[in-house]
Structure 1
Amino acid sequence: MKKKKFRVSDYQSIDDCLNQMQSEGYRPIKRIEKPVFEEQQSGEAEPVEQEIVFQAVKDE
């Protein structure tokens, strides 16, 4: 079973990413969401975006 990660880019929708996975012969098994923080001048971290990554396996 071969695994691969697919990241949803800033200019891509989740459906586009899922379609890309399917066209490459993969199916999603896990969705990971991570907040991306930016440090402000006050020293506090503020979330600026959400990074979405899919783990996928080769469809047999």
Structure 2
Amino acid sequence: MSKSKKRFEVLEHETIDQCLERMKIEGYTPIRRMEEPIFQEVIQQGVKEIVPIGRKIVFEGKKVT
């Protein structure tokens, strides 16, 4: 039995449209989009700061019946 929901992460060198096409090929339709920030610790002038450096986009897909 296959899963009814699956998460698809937009890969590093992939566009959102390419990710959505990959979902469609696997038989899923997007039902939710989530964005998570990516942070990095940087030490500037002896002070540690947490700086956002990017974001991770993840789609939740539902199996098309």
TM over 0.5: yes
User: What TM-score results when the alignment is normalised by the length of structure 2?
Assistant: 0.88
Match of 2:64 in 1: 59
Flag structure 2 segments of 5+ consecutive residues without an equivalent: none
CA distance in structure 1 between the partners assigned to 2:4 and 2:24 by the alignment: 14
* Runs of 4+ displaced beyond 3 Å: none
* Paired residue secondary structure (1:12): coil
Q: 1:30 aligns with which of 29, 32, 38?
A: 32
Instruction: Report the counterpart of residue 14 of structure 1 in structure 2.
Output: 16
Rounded Cα–Cα distance in structure 2 between residues aligned with 1:45 and 1:16: 31
Aligned counterpart for 2:54 among listed residues 45, 49, 58: 49
Q: Which amino acid aligns with 1:38?
A: Q
Shift of 1:43: 1.2
- Equivalents in 2 of 1:51, 1:58: separation in Å? 22
Q: Match of 2:21, SS? A: helix
Match of 2:42 among 40, 43, 46: 40
| Identical positions, percent | 42
Query: C-alpha displacement at 1:29, in angstroms?
Result: 0.4
